[in-house]
């Protein structure tokens, strides 16, 4: 069983405990050159201790802030704990952050040392050096490409460990002092600063204490019965609170093994090899997996497609009920068992989810159809609702009480209430200490008695007692005629179609709803090959009239479903266009966690918004884009605008409305 000893109130204390109690058990793995390397808890302690003492030799001390930049690598996780053992505070930064974003975080957090993965991250730091006078040494993990660099500030991870081991060998009291320093740490100490994704402006540094995160982690482990035998794959951004809790604090609290993939592109294959038992992914990951599945099936033979379609229909009808152990007719169980043999089992294996006991999705609302698809396959996919300011957990769905439309009941030790304006508020042991260097914003978000304003609109479902999130409170509006307009709800319906990667719904204060759509290049590109549609770029494919016809059919189906919903029948889509480029975090249109920055998008594409509502049949636009190497360019396009026919609401609903 995981240790619940209240004296183990910091991560370094948990490390010492796990090394003693679970010493020979695997703590972390990393796939390198196709081979899984494993470190036990005892070995992890030795690696972290050497690096921690080395950091002390470099001058790192209690209260210092140090950056962690890179993909999921054991040494970067070790660096977090090594710094925390000294009382220093890690500040993870998104690995794909452009220079401007990185400079802001490093300067605002007053980072004095950075631990980075490779040459790419070193290059970013070097380019920003004049803007970061407080930043001293830069520690790098991978040495490839750095041989001829000026090493006045650079030092290898292994060399820092060498400094620590030398100190340990030459100072008999060194180990005692180090362990005494860990023992002096308190649960109330600042453990990490995590910067928000910045959906509404500049990122804010969320300060979380050890108590915030460890209590939340222990409660989550108990809620889902997570113990030391779990296998988890770590692939989420290190700067995201989800990774810090799932891949770090929960792992230390339960003693389970965390597995780092070879590259971000091999996550699915690596997860299949490891046989993950506990999995988390934002909706985008599940959407992409479904898109690839549908693309492959579109290329399959006629018999395979018919077999797939038939058994997927069976799964949607009965799969969730069987998973929740509801009473199901014998013939349905027989059909489902055959489907599991022929379709569901191979699919789960392909996704690397065959052994998963608990899978979560959060971070954004997931489309109900997508959620039901995975539940139908027999995957125990559940929803949770959380925030960085909550140390993740606000609500979660208990086993056997799963619905596609809700995000669960309050997590253990969490209180949730709905304000008079419909905003969701929560209070829990996970409530953050405050925003770094921003007491005014802290006071604005957190009340004097500990309630936190989430900024999300929601309500408790009367039937299930679970929380339902409508959308961001500021995004929920009404059309001119008073019809409710919830953009995320409409966008999720559209994103169920593999051909649609992203959608931006417009309509608040307007006469009707319009959408701007990103096609999915993989799905639409596959369709183009099968239909002999030639194209030379994303822009050219998105402008093709046949692609417009296909997306129009999807929108027509969404309108038909909206017409059946009394509250949303008046919010059917009247006009749409296809954007000439993918929305991109580097261009400021998405956050690093792939959420729409809606206000920025509306301002940036104001000329398109105006054209959609002016009745124009086309619009011209020129907009700046950022290439992968950081260089800027301009893309110009002439976009068609299509009209859609709304469906009348059912007569019974019209009578009730009258």
Beta-carbon count within 10 A of 317 CB: 14
Residue 650 clears pLDDT 80, i.e. is over it? no
| Rounded distance between C-alpha atoms, residue 422 and residue 264, angstroms | 39
Segment 438-446 mean pLDDT: 96
- Is the domain of 249 the same as that of 182? yes
- Is the domain of 208 the same as that of 324? no
pLDDT recorded at residue 624:
84
Domain end marker among 472, 488, 514: 472
Does residue 369 sit within a domain?
A: yes
- Is the domain of 347 the same as that of 451? yes
- Is the domain of 343 the same as that of 234? no
More confident residue, 67 or 101: 67
Does residue 3 sit within a domain?
A: no
CATH of the domain at 500: 3.30.300.30
| Whether the Cβ atoms of residue 231 and residue 264 lie closer than 8 Å to each other | no
| Rounded distance between C-alpha atoms, residue 348 and residue 377, angstroms | 7
Strand pairing class (415-418; 423-427): antiparallel
| Rounded distance between C-alpha atoms, residue 637 and residue 516, angstroms | 14
Domain end marker among 472, 497, 528: 472
Q: How many contiguous H segments (helices) and E segments (strands) does the chain have? A: 25, 29
Does residue 158 sit within a domain?
A: yes
More confident residue, 101 or 53: 53
More confident residue, 572 or 295: 572
pLDDT recorded at residue 657:
44
| Whether the Cβ atoms of residue 472 and residue 457 lie closer than 8 Å to each other | yes
Least confident range from 528-532, 536-540, 649-653: namely 649-653
| 320-373 tens-digit pLDDT | 999 988 999 999 999 999 999 999 999 999 999 999 999 999 877 787 888 999
Residue 627 clears pLDDT 80, i.e. is over it? no
- Is the domain of 514 the same as that of 628? yes
pLDDT confidence tier of residue 654, bands split at 50, 70 and 90: very low
- Is the domain of 15 the same as that of 159? yes
The alpha carbon of residue 296 and the mean position of all alpha carbons in its chain are separated, in whole angstroms, by 25
The number of distinct structural domains making up the chain is: 3
Segment 202-209 mean pLDDT: 93
| 103-133 tens-digit pLDDT | 999 999 999 999 999 999 999 999 998 899 9
pLDDT confidence tier of residue 181, bands split at 50, 70 and 90: very high
Segment 604-630 mean pLDDT: 88
pLDDT recorded at residue 658:
43
Q: Which domain holds residue 597?
A: 477-657
- Is the domain of 433 the same as that of 526? no
| Whether the Cβ atoms of residue 131 and residue 156 lie closer than 8 Å to each other | no
pLDDT confidence tier of residue 406, bands split at 50, 70 and 90: very high
Does residue 4 sit within a domain?
A: no
pLDDT recorded at residue 110:
96
Helix (H, G, I), strand (E, B) or coil at 518: strand
Give the list of residues 6+ apart from residue 459 with CB closer than 8 angstroms, or none. Answer: 418, 422, 467, 468, 470
Residue 167 clears pLDDT 50, i.e. is over it? yes
% of the chain exceeding 70 in pLDDT: 97
| 480-526 tens-digit pLDDT | 999 889 898 899 889 888 899 999 999 999 999 999 999 999 999 99
- Is the domain of 132 the same as that of 156? yes
Does residue 623 sit within a domain?
A: yes
Does residue 132 sit within a domain?
A: yes
Least confident range from 3-12, 384-393, 458-467, 625-634: namely 625-634
Does residue 16 sit within a domain?
A: yes
CATH of the domain at 48: 3.40.50.12780
pLDDT recorded at residue 492:
86
pLDDT confidence tier of residue 102, bands split at 50, 70 and 90: very high
Residue 17 clears pLDDT 60, i.e. is over it? yes
Segment 174-186 mean pLDDT: 96
| 269-290 tens-digit pLDDT | 999 999 999 999 988 899 889 9
Domain end marker among 457, 472, 487: 472
Tell me the whole-structure pTM to 2 decimals: 0.87
- Is the domain of 232 the same as that of 358? no
pLDDT recorded at residue 208:
98
- Is the domain of 445 the same as that of 497? no
- Is the domain of 21 the same as that of 144? yes
pLDDT recorded at residue 484:
86
Give the list of residues 6+ apart from residue 303 with CB closer than 8 angstroms, or none. Answer: none
Residue 53 clears pLDDT 90, i.e. is over it? yes
- Is the domain of 16 the same as that of 142? yes
Does residue 56 sit within a domain?
A: yes
């Amino acid at each position: 069983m995981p240790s619940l000893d209240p004296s183990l109130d910091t991560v370094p204390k948990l490390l010492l405990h796990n090394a003693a109690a679970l010493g020979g058990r695997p703590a972390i793995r990393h796939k390198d050159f196709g081979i899984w390397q494993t470190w036990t808890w005892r070995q992890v302690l030795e690696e972290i201790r050497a690096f921690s003492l080395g950091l002390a030799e470099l001058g790192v001390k209690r209260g210092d802030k140090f950056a962690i930049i890179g993909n999921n690598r054991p040494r970067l996780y070790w660096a977090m704990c090594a710094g925390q053992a000294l009382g220093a505070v890690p500040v993870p930064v998104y690995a794909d952050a452009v220079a401007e974003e990185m400079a802001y975080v490093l300067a605002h957090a007053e980072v004095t040392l950075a631990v980075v993965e490779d040459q790419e991250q070193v290059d970013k730091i070097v380019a920003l050096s004049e803007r970061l006078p407080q930043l001293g040494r830069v520690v790098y993990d991978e040495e490839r490409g750095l041989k001829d660099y000026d090493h006045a500030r650079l030092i290898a991870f292994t060399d820092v460990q060498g400094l620590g081991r030398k100190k340990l060998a030459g100072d008999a009291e060194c180990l005692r002092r180090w362990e005494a320093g860990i023992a002096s740490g308190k649960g109330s100490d600042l453990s990490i600063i995590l910067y928000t994704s910045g959906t509404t402006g500049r990122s804010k540094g969320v300060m979380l204490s050890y108590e915030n995160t460890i209590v939340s982690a222990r409660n989550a482990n108990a809620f889902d019965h997570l113990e030391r035998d779990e296998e988890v794959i770590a692939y989420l951004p290190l700067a995201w609170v989800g990774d810090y809790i799932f891949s770090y604090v929960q792992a230390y609290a339960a003693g389970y093994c965390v597995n780092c993939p070879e590259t971000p592109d091999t996550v699915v294959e690596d997860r299949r090899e490891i046989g993950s038992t506990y999995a988390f992914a934002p909706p985008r990951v599940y959407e992409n997996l479904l898109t690839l599945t549908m693309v492959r099936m579109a290329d399959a033979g006629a018999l395979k497609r018919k077999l797939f379609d038939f058994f997927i229909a069976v799964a949607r009808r009965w799969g969730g009920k069987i998973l929740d152990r509801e009473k199901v007719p014998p013939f349905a169980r027989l059909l489902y068992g055959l489907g599991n043999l022929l379709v569901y089992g191979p699919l789960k294996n392909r996704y690397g989810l065959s052994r998963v006991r608990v899978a979560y999705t959060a971070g954004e609302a997931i489309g109900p159809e997508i959620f039901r698809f995975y539940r139908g396959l027999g995957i125990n996919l559940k929803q949770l609702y959380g925030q960085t300011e909550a140390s993740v957990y606000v609500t979660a769905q208990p086993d056997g009480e799963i619905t596609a439309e809700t995000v669960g009941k309050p997590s253990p030790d969490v209180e949730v209430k709905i304000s008079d304006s419909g905003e969701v508020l929560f209070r829990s042991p996970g409530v953050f200490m405050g925003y770094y260097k921003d007491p005014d914003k802290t006071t604005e978000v957190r009340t004097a008695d500990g309630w936190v304003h989430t900024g999300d609109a929601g309500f408790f479902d009367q039937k299930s007692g679970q929380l339902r999130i409508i959308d961001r409170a500021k995004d929920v509006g009404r059309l001119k005629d008073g019809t409710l307009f919830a953009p995320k709800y409409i966008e999720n319906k559209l994103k169920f179609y593999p051909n649609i990667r992203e959608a931006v719904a417009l309509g608040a204060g307007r006469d009707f709803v319009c959408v701007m759509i990103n096609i999915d290049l993989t799905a639409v590109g596959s369709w183009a090959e099968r239909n002999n549609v030639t194209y030379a770029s994303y822009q050219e494919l998105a402008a093709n009239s046949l692609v417009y016809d296909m997306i129009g059919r999807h929108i027509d189906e969404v309108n038909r479903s909206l017409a059946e919903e009394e509250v949303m029948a008046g919010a059917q889509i009247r006009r749409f266009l296809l954007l000439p480029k993918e929305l991109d975090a580097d261009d400021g249109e998405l956050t690093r966690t792939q959420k729409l920055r809606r206000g920025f998008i509306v301002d940036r594409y104001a000329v398109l918004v105006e054209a959609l509502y002016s009745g124009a049949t086309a619009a011209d636009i020129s907009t700046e884009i950022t290439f992968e190497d950081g260089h800027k360019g301009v893309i110009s396009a002439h976009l068609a605008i299509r009209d859609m026919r709304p469906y009348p609401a059912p007569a019974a609903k019209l009578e009730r409305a009258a």
